[in-house]
Each structure stands twice: as structure tokens, then as C-alpha cells.
């Protein structure tokens, strides 16, 4: 296993277009997280899944954002009608929860979105 992978690494899109990002977590990890990181800031939590269930969504996740993890493996994050304010690095992380405890979260390299 090569760790958490994200695709694409970079995406430039025109305002108003839809974009979709993919995250492949470490294979045995049952928890998957999405974060957004803007320049000069720390990552901010967007949403997380345990297996295929989306258990929490941040208020940062507007109606234009949707995330799925259909089979409890990879996840997609879609942004509809992109706005310039959506420009950011989107980070995915995964961890294993077992026995009431979590392993550390492992991060992917992120997808850098630029909305022009």
C-alpha cells in the first residue's frame, strides 16, 4: 500500500463549472476525512466517513458540495457551480478505528483547485 492517494493533483476550472476529486485511502482504513486548506491557514475539517456512512459535515460544506464513499473504499468530493472562493487545497486523510481507538490520520498530497 502506497498510502493515501488523491487525484488529480491540480485542477484549474472556470467559475460555474463542476469539479470532482477522488481519494483512495489506505486499504484497511475505515475512516476517511476531507479537509480544505487555504493559503496561510491550517486545514479545516469538511466531512468524514466511517465505512460508507457520512457521519459528520461541517457548516463549511455548503449545498454545492457533496461527498460520497459508496463502497466504503474510495471517496469523491464534488463541487458544483464553482466559485473563486472555492480555490484551495483539498486534503484527504484516512485512519483506522478499532476497539474504540483511532490510529493516527494519514494524509494524501492533496488536490489544488484554482477557480478562474
Using CB atoms within 10 Å of the CB of residue 116, give its burial: 0 to 12 exposed, 13 to 18 middle, 19+ buried.
Answer: exposed
Question: Measured from the CB of residue 81, what is the shortest distance to other proteins in angstroms?
Answer: 26
Within 2-21, which residues bind other proteins (CB under 8 A)? 3-4
Question: Measured from the CB of residue 18, what is the shortest distance to other proteins in angstroms?
Answer: 26
C-alpha cell at 109: 498530497
Does position 39 bind other proteins by CB under 8 A? no
Q: Which is closer to other proteins, CB of 14 or CB of 104? A: 104
Return the sign of the alpha-carbon dihedral for residues 30, 96, 11, 19. Answer: positive
Does position 110 bind other proteins by CB under 8 A? yes
Map residue 34 onto helix, strand or coil.
strand
Does position 95 bind other proteins by CB under 8 A? yes
Amino acid at each position: 500500500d502506497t498510502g493515501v492517494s488523491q487525484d488529480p493533483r491540480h485542477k484549474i476550472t472556470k467559475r460555474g463549472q463542476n469539479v470532482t476529486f477522488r481519494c483512495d485511502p489506505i486499504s484497511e482504513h475505515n475512516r476517511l476525512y476531507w479537509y480544505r486548506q487555504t493559503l496561510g491557514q491550517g486545514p479545516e475539517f469538511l466531512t468524514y466517513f466511517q465505512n460508507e456512512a457520512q457521519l459528520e459535515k461541517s457548516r463549511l460544506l455548503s449545498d454545492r458540495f457533496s461527498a460520497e464513499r459508496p463502497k466504503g473504499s474510495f471517496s469523491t468530493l464534488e463541487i458544483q457551480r464553482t466559485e473563486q472562493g472555492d480555490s484551495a487545497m483539498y486534503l484527504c486523510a484516512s485512519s483506522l478505528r478499532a476497539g474504540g481507538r483511532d490510529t493516527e490520520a494519514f494524509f494524501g498530497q492533496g488536490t489544488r483547485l484554482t477557480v478562474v
